[in-house]
Amino acid sequence: MSMKMEFNNQEYYFLPHVKINALLDYLHHQGFSCIGPQIKQDAIVYEELHDSEQLPWGLRDYQMPGQYRLEENNVKRAFSWANGPQAIKPQLFKPKESLWRVARDSHGKLTFKNVTHEMKPIALFGVRSCDVAGMLIQDKAFLTEPFVDKHYQARRENVFVIAVNCGYSSNNCFCVSTNTGPQVKAGYDIALTEIDDGFVVTVGSAAGEALINKISLKHATDEMQQAMQREINNAATMQSKAMPFDNTRVVRDLLMNNLDHPQWDDVAARCLSCGNCTSVCPTCFCSSETETPALDRIESEHSREWDSCFTEGHSYIHGKVIRDDTKSRYKQWLTHKLATWWDQFDTSGCVGCGRCVTWCPVGIDITAEVAAIAKPAVDDSASE
Amino acid sequence: MTVIKPKIAVYKFTSCDGCQLAFLNLGNDLLKLTDAVDIIHFAELGMVNPNAKVDIAFIEGSIATPHDLERIKNIRAKAKFLITIGACATAGGIQALRNFADTAEWVAAIYPKPETISYLATSTPISTHVTVDLELWGCPVNGEQILTAIKTLLLKVKPAIKRDSVCLECKRSGNVCVMVTKNIPCMGPVTQTGCGALCPSVGRDCYGCYGPSENPNTDSLSKQFQQQGCSRETIQRRFLFINNQAPAFLKAGMKK
Ligand code: SF4
Ligand code: SF4
Ligand code: SF4
Ligand code: SF4
Ligand code: SF4
């Protein structure tokens, strides 16, 4: 759906808050299961959405390195918060999933069977720009020929994306410096920007246009369009964090030229090697695979689950753990994400969502680590 | 033709029986298991045959009495593969808190006739006394892990048990982190996975019952607990708990 990008509708529409349910009903009738933001365990997470009442009305998130709090701001808005612990990742790249089964007959011959997952297509309601950008990067990992991941593909091809442009950034957002937000540029069916009483809507695909027509949205007024622009500008200007060198290949060269920098020891003393950062990161795609035999010794199931470069299994080769300390693991995370990702996918692996900063139990800040490694370089240029 | 099934046994040492219960709670799978193996000793299940030779011996409980010490050597000699189940067998258990105290004094304070109690001054893990082939942690152990271990051994493959942090499982389960949202000192980042992140999934902190993860940074986590407002004593108690004798937790807990 949102994978086909050649589409041109430059119109602005208005979706009043009271019509959110009409939109959800339409999608349900089309056979989608809607997934949207709601409160769970003191945070905003994405789960099955049936009614606009479930949305996190009047709530704002306060984020610091290693900290996340929700507070009421008494504004009748559904999206006056920035983001929560999850991105789209768990919807398309499942945390755990069965891949295939194998059975042995009485002659010892093995027969392999694919596991296919029967599922409804998913409509994602309220996806942030950074997370859409993250999805487009994961597409490169999972959908590049000849190594297409059928499981990801089956979900991805049918997904309907309702993006939402931000009007507020948390302390840990830095999508301006990574050029991935706060306004979504590609990869969506429709995009919303919340203003008073509703959303200004733009269209990104034919399926999105069909939805607009079906629920008969009126055009947005000039004032509404100006209000939309003010919201997006507000989110952009309030960002205080930034990835050094605008997240370009300069960061790649910086890291690859400083593999012996003392900062790696410094961060290794703080890092718990817990893997929370890679788990919440919308672009990380590593998994481990396990074989679970049945008791009958005839059948076995092969499944995968999210893994991380912070585990010993990630670098276990030929009876040896290659990266057996935290220093080499943190270095792997940072140099893959921000450096060798360029060689692999022609992009940085960071979309500036700030999740790895917020959800790190000890508040390690990826932008600060890069800045520390960049320090001598910056000092040099200053003294020239 | 009679098929000779591998023999398994479950032995109890100093423990609460919780791990045997976790085994029993496998329910239907336990019944199915008997198609593939003969359970020849499992007192809680009613089978008693303590001196038989076995293929897989499961050990619950720590070594805390002279009698324990005698039995474990005998069992090891008769078992091909020995697996410890639970915190007691694997790390000495909660009862190893006595290792920090004067055991005789405690016994005198509790029992009217202390001279009738036979005990060792310390509670120690099975591995202190005999060779252990596989350790399954937890208080109690996860029944599924036991089952997987048996199924894998039946195929003559050594079971691979992940020793990653609980956090990874916590995130895979879609839990929201209690450290980050509620400022609760959670042991998940230094604790080994295996329970399915049970505690954070009900909104509370992990207290480390699966023992240390493979690469635990207890110094950094202790510092973080301190910044969250925990006293030194609270932090020590976090580490010196169910797995107080696990070297990484012992070291962190003894830090002044
Ligand atoms: S590296 Fe961190 S900030 Fe960048 S995309 Fe991943 S989680 Fe977000
Ligand atoms: S940063 Fe680590 S977990 Fe993420 S994709 Fe790279 S190697 Fe995998
Ligand atoms: S950077 Fe933070 S979240 Fe990532 S492994 Fe280290 S301590 Fe865990
Ligand atoms: S709640 Fe505990 S186990 Fe879960 S991610 Fe947070 S620190 Fe780790
Ligand atoms: S979350 Fe921690 S304390 Fe709770 S069962 Fe798991 S390992 Fe044990």
Express each pLDDT in A164-214 by its tens digit: 999 999 999 999 999 999 999 999 999 999 999 999 999 999 999 999 999
Q: How far is CA B253 from CA B190, B216, B218, in A?
A: 13, 13, 9
d(CA A242, CA A352): 8
Give which of B215, B219, B230, B238 to mutate to test A binding, by max A Cβ within 10 Å.
B215
CB-nearest partner of B180 from A40, A292, A359: A359
Q: How far is B66 from chain A (nearest CA, A)?
A: 38
A313/B163 Cα distance (integer angstroms) = 9
Q: Which whole-number Å values give the CA distances from A113 to A95, A104, A110, A287, in the listed order? A: 21, 12, 10, 20
Does A356 contact ligand 1 (Cβ within 6 A)?
Answer: yes
Residue A6: the pLDDT is 63
**Per-residue pLDDT tens digits for A63-110:** 999 999 999 998 999 999 999 999 899 999 999 999 999 999 999 999
Per-residue pLDDT for A378 more than 70? no
Q: Which of B170, B187, B205, B221 to mutate to test the pocket of ligand 4 (most atoms within 8 A of CB)?
A: B170
Instruction: Looking at the complex, report in whole angstroms how far the Cα of residue A170 sits from the nearest Cα belonging to chain B.
Output: 15
Q: Which of A107-111, A132-136, A284-288 comes out lowest in average pLDDT?
A: A107-111
pLDDT at A383: 43
State which fold the B7-154 domain adopts: Rossmann fold (3.40.50)
Dist. CA A13–CA A131, nearest whole Å: 23
**DSSP code at position B137:** -
Q: Are A177 and A246 in contact (CB under 8 A)?
A: yes
Nearest CB partner across the interface for A297, out of B154, B179, B220: B154
Residue A276 and residue B177: Cβ atoms within 8 Å? Answer: yes
With residue B8 as reference, give the H or E element that holds it.
strand B7-12
pLDDT bin (cut points 50, 70, 90) of residue A2 is: very low
- pLDDT above 70 covers what percent of chain B? 99
Ligand nearest to the CA of B183: 4
**H or E stretch covering A151:** helix A150-157
Q: Where in chain B is the domain with CATH 3.40.50.700?
A: 7-154
Give how far B176 is from chain A: nearest CA, Å.
6
Do B111 and B44 form a contact (C-beta atoms < 8 A)? no
Question: Which residues of chain B, if any, have pLDDT below 70?
Answer: 1-2
Ligand 3 centroid to Cα of residue A165, in Å, is: 29
Question: Which chain B residues are within 8 Å of A95, Cβ to Cβ?
Answer: 171-174
CB contact (8 A) between residue A96 and residue B186: no
Average pLDDT of every residue of chain A: 94
**Residue whose CA is at the smallest distance from ligand 4 atom 1:** B177
Query: Would an 8 Å CB–CB cutoff place B220 in contact with chain A?
Result: yes
Helix (H) or strand (E) holding A38: strand A33-40
Provide the residue ranges of all domains of chain A, joining segments of one domain with +. 13-93+100-238, 244-383
Predicted-assembly ipTM surpassing the 0.90 threshold: yes
What is the average pLDDT value for chain B, to the nearest integer? Answer: 95
